[in-house]
Chain A
């Protein structure tokens, strides 16, 4: 592990661990999944926990033992040649259907017959089976009478075939399509404010109970503010509402709360639990995902803007496909990639790790949107719900090529459009300006200048060769860089030999210079193409031929000596080694020469002189460079060749003359005077570059172009297809991130692949005979980046008419209800399947789901409906008589008080202390002393925030529909002893008047609870302040009164009233 991990360790301790310290009086109020468990649930035939093992044992026993007994003694008459007594044991299904075999051997007629306990004794008219054989059959029946395959070839075991999803299955309450629901009539209609109330009251009246009346106004506004914002209502807000006599005062409060930006923060956090959202990979390395927070920002914005829930679903599954230009839709795809992933993998684990990742996506998608444990069907058909394993793999196949990517996104397109436009306008101005200069001024000046041009002016020590052709034995290709140099592009061969044909115009050449130059495209900037930027030139050969002579043979030019600006060593990697007889040893430039331009000069034994050939306009060169070093890819990245007309020129880079092509053009332009010739244009363009005015205009344009429009982009972690993968630790070993096909796996085992799975839908939520093409979104083009499988799934998911939309609506309505009342209409928010709870008010649930869909899937309307109902406005008053009938308040005859969640506890302390920083959005932090809302804690899986964990924060590994609510002593220790708790109390106390105890206590209550203390409370608190002041005074620790007030504030924030919604 890295050193930085060590520093993490000191915070790793989780407060929740501590919870075990409370052994005597902890009170655990179970809200989590096990609540629905069992004793009373009449779920389908229970599957024992060791089911899989028993099947395996039974099958082994059959294969090794029982099969032979049955075939030898029974089969002929019972399923083989004939079927006597209507008893066919040729297949598992026929056997079980015969009625001869019970659940256990003791109930089995078959066992009685073969044991000769019952008549007719079997096998008929034959010896009794050996005792061991009977015992084997008994054991086999006790293990479920498993078959590995039918006893008769060709018989098909129908029950072994894929699970059939029938219309009967689709009749289960949650799988049905929503139907119109009539609002019931009730006796006490005067109590009802909304249709919700009639549904609830109807059930109560049937049970013979009546609801509570309305709670007092202070209680209501505090309740609603905690519910909607996760913060306490301020005293001023309470006062205003209390005084407001307007008949719509309450509706106004609800509307105000739903408009608050803090609503999004509160409800985004609820969804983060469902989405198992965290900002690190988890597992042993637990690397951060620093750009994952955009998903949280998306959630907050989505809730605040009341994004229709169907769109909310679609964007999380396929925002990159359905709204690729909307940054929020891109951010939403963070949902798919939010799960944990082990980044340290060995090759053997790659494929199973990818299937685990797909499983995380499928499981979370199934639970979050459909409330179905689709993930249970990974290893076999779902045990309770009609979800065949095949359906699981069809959903998994939807995500086959979906991976995490980090991309630059334009989060503020309007501002960027402005930037782009401003830039383009300026660009156009600069271009026009330059063009005008080139069209009006340059031709005049050039025509005036050209007559005075003298060819020899531009001849320097080195004349750059005009390269005519480069051929490479291994296919390297080169691009001219406009300065006489050539850059290698494309793939780098391991070895290569270059043959360069080039021309010079001078008549005398005494040496050849090879410059090897750097370039940004080269490894380490070059000059070589090896990963470390090096090259190795084993050999250089030079041939010369007078130009213009076709008959003269090329003469080999002997190289006498070589010097270089830098060489790797003085031995086999020296420049001298390039002109020895070893084609491998030769010039290389590592050991200080990488990333810098280098040059080598090869002095000729005898000057190349074409003065004797007057017709020849210079020399044609053929230069061969052998790049044959055994270290791969030690090729040259960029080179320039020139010849020197003087002897003993030092090895240096640059100081070349004009590009030979330009010189030729100048010469020709001067010679012909043809202003429309290519040469003239070329020469004129070159001339322009020497003019200061042109340079100024050109530089202004280049700078503007280089600066670009400076669009503000943000790096965002998204989930998509065909984008660069988000790199991680396993890349080093070659982890492929995804495999092109998803297979149906037997028992979820990657070594037992069956057919390739194609993307599809859950059959149980797809009515029989539906044309699935309804939802299909075709790829817009064959080569479109993504497959549009997810867009297709999203279509089905949100289709309330034919697809899964009815269930999706029920599930979200239930989640919203649950967060308002502490318990959903379905008590198992993540399980709407057969083993989940049944709704307490099915008609109400469906009515609300219908209402949601009919009104554009808008959640704020749903909140408002709920919060303006009489059910919501009830007091918390308890009643023995009604509790006898409905102790758990399933019928909602009262408001059930409940504890605030972790975030709301901390945020309330911060709010009351005056320390709350209300800055929204952006990256989170692990700093425990931060004062922003708790939703902005960075969620690092190995370093979960201790104070949050103490109050039942989820582990952020799987979708959590409802947190448990534990009451444990370590929470008390946090209030009593934590530095944060004390700091909040100190800030709280600083807001209080210090001179009058009574005024201080009153103000403290006003801030903490938005109420006045009772007489009894005032008496207790006044006494306490006096007592503590005296105590601290005696200790001489500063002003005793200040410390006493801090104690007072700490105590108030520790009160039950502080952390319970009433």
Chain B
């Protein structure tokens, strides 16, 4: 591959055309032909071997070879938004029961008078309000709020020692998505599409779904799926939860399909006449073709979103029509249909903004987590089952992770909650390349801080890229005089959870 690269990079546009024998008029179709496998050679390049996108000018989303064979081809990330409490979900801390009611200063005298965000709200250490029971062959202790996900623990690798930079929602969300707690950097989905291209002709390579129950967008909104300094083509496509999922996909009411087809035929003819004078301008031809693709997209995108066409048993599997989780079930099913059609990276946000609108259980951690677990447990479990049944789970990576964890102490109030905790969070991954039924890393006995085999966000990102066949140190992009990476200057692949 590497040897080949040098050669391919030197191919000029004209050489390419003479090789494909199509002449200038077909220039804009080169990317399409390549996609269809009709272009034998010359175009297949790799962003990772060389971050010079000029070599991919004809089609920046053309599929790229990975650095090494990939275990996972695509990703579905259930973003558990708001900061789920690790000690009440996947990081069972039996010792916390013993510590229940004691001051955290007995455990850590350094602890200050603030929970980090709230002053005057420091409660005592608080055990989980949920019952835990062993599930699966691995015997993972699972809280009662995940009855369906508990079925899948033998497929999951649990990271129990995650830690991050900020205890503030938006910086932490940016950090989890881009590696840096600031605005303006490319998110994981953008890096993955930049690195691997897209396998779909008519759908986005990177799709984001947000809360459809009117609880808003995750904090920091669209910056969470921004391409940052990468070209805009790698940005996440946000499916609007209400109204038209994608802007301008629907013809104006006054224009019939036939009328529009006539318009496009005319446009093509006029543009071709114009193009005769400017045959050297490749983008003119590409633009001609872009109208044809847009025309096709008008039907292909709605088709991918059409979950009503799914059989009833599949709908039931996800929990569609179950009031509690119907909305999330639909999004999970859309996610499956998307990846099935070649979408590379899907992110679904559970919950919207802060407090009771997401997993941000400042008040009443028990009620909050029962609610959001209830909204997602059956749909995500259904997704795992469905992917497995279709043989897709083996090369689809499913991630459950939020922006940070929560403190083991109570945040005082009418019903006790828990405040943000950047020192420890938990996550699980399942599917492509993941060893099932294992725990990785550990927090201290009360779940205050990550202790053994600590996993930084950079490590998590390095591992995700690794599963997709990419070396996080080699996936770079030069911008304003510097080569940037998703993992900045750090990151280690978590080898122990790889199958």
Contacts and interface: CB of A to CB of B under 8 A. Distances in A.
A38 B6 CA distance: 12
Contacts, number: 347
Interface stretch (A388-396, A545-553, A761-769, A827-835): A827-835
Interface string A947-968: 0010010010110000011111
B182 A23 contact: no
Given A1-B354, A13-B247, A346-B167, A27 B252 contact: no
Given A23-B203, A1028-B259, A356 B482 contact: no
A1051 B255 CA distance: 13
Nearest to A375: B480
A37 B489 contact: no
Contact of B263 (A16, A1032, A1051): A1051
A50 B473 contact: yes
B353 interface: yes
B57 interface: yes
B124 interface: no
A971 interface: yes
A942 B222 contact: yes
A1050 B270 CA distance: 13
Given A26-B286, A376-B482, A955-B226, A1032 B51 contact: no
Nearest to A5: B216
B269 A1020 contact: yes
Interface in A13-33: 13-30, 32-33
Contact of A24 (B31, B168, B219): B31
A524 to B, nearest CB: 26
A925 interface: no
A657 B40 CA distance: 107
Given A33-B478, A37-B52, A25 B184 contact: no
A15 B220 CA distance: 18
B10 to A, nearest CB: 9
A1056 B287 contact: yes
Contact of B214 (A6, A52, A1037): A6
Interface stretch (B126-134, B193-201, B321-329): B193-201
Interface in A632-674: none
B262 A1047 contact: yes
A591 interface: no
B205 A23 contact: yes
A332 interface: no
A289 B228 CA distance: 23
Interface stretch (B156-164, B274-282, B427-435, B437-445): B274-282
Contacts of A942: 221-223
A650 to B, nearest CB: 46
B315 interface: no
Given A344-B170, A836-B481, A968 B290 contact: yes
Contacts of A12: 217, 221-222, 238
Contacts of A342: 170-171, 183
Interface stretch (A295-303, A401-409, A424-432, A976-984): A976-984
A28 B217 CA distance: 30
Contacts of B271: 1055-1057
A95 to B, nearest CB: 24
B426 to A, nearest CB: 23
B242 to A, nearest CB: 8
A51 B476 CA distance: 13
Interface string A28-53: 11101111111100000001111111
Given A18-B237, A27-B28, A28-B56, A1020 B170 contact: no
A430 B184 CA distance: 61
A1055 B270 contact: yes
B260 interface: yes
Given A51-B489, A942-B222, A27 B283 contact: yes
A982 B235 CA distance: 27
Interface stretch (B102-110, B293-301, B405-413): B293-301
A1057 B278 CA distance: 10
Nearest to B293: A969
Interface stretch (B58-66, B91-99, B144-152, B376-384): B58-66
Nearest to A1024: B266
B59 A1050 contact: no
Most B-side CB within 10 Å, residue of A26, A36, A878, A967 = A26
Nearest to B492: A53
B247 A15 contact: yes
A34 B479 contact: yes
Contacts of B481: 33, 373, 376, 384, 831, 833, 835-836
B22 interface: no
Contacts of B234: 20
Interface in A956-1011: 957-958, 964-979, 982
A977 B250 contact: yes
Contacts of A878: 278-280
A777 interface: no
A1035 B286 CA distance: 34
B232 interface: yes
Contacts of A830: 480
B471 to A, nearest CB: 11
Interface string B208-232: 0000001011011111011011011
A964 B237 CA distance: 19
Contacts of A344: 168, 170
Interface in B242-273: 242-243, 246-252, 254-256, 258-260, 262-264, 266-267, 269-271, 273
A412 interface: no
B1 interface: no
B438 to A, nearest CB: 27
Most A-side CB within 10 Å, residue of B232, B262, B280 = B232
A24 B291 contact: no
B100 interface: no
A323 interface: no
B82 to A, nearest CB: 12
B12 interface: yes
A356 B184 CA distance: 13
Nearest to B233: A19
B28 to A, nearest CB: 6
Contacts of B214: 6
B50 interface: yes
B33 to A, nearest CB: 9
Given A29-B57, A34-B51, A373-B480, A23 B202 contact: yes
Contacts of A946: 247
Contacts of B229: 33, 958
A453 interface: no
Most A-side CB within 10 Å, residue of B57, B167, B169, B489 = B489
Nearest to A1060: B284
Nearest to B286: A27
Contact of A952 (B57, B217, B232, B283): B232
27 contacts: A9-B217, A13-B238, A13-B247, A23-B35, A23-B200, A23-B205, A25-B31, A25-B293, A27-B283, A30-B54, A34-B51, A35-B54, A37-B51, A38-B52, A38-B478, A346-B168, A878-B278, A955-B184, A966-B233, A969-B291, A973-B249, A977-B248, A977-B250, A977-B298, A978-B248, A1031-B262, A1047-B263
Cβ-closest 10 pairs across A and B: A27-B286, A972-B294, A284-B170, A20-B204, A878-B280, A52-B489, A973-B248, A16-B232, A957-B184, A25-B289
Given A18-B247, A25-B289, A976-B291, 20 more contacts: A9-B216, A17-B237, A19-B235, A21-B202, A21-B203, A21-B297, A23-B201, A33-B229, A47-B483, A346-B168, A373-B481, A836-B481, A946-B247, A964-B232, A966-B232, A969-B290, A976-B295, A977-B252, A982-B252, A1051-B267
Interface of B: 9, 12-14, 28-29, 31-32, 35-36, 50-54, 56-61, 116-117, 166-171, 182-184, 193, 198, 200-206, 214, 216-217, 219-223, 225-226, 228-229, 231-238, 240, 242-243, 246-252, 254-256, 258-260, 262-264, 266-267, 269-271, 273-275, 278-295, 297-298, 301, 353-354, 473, 476-485, 489-490
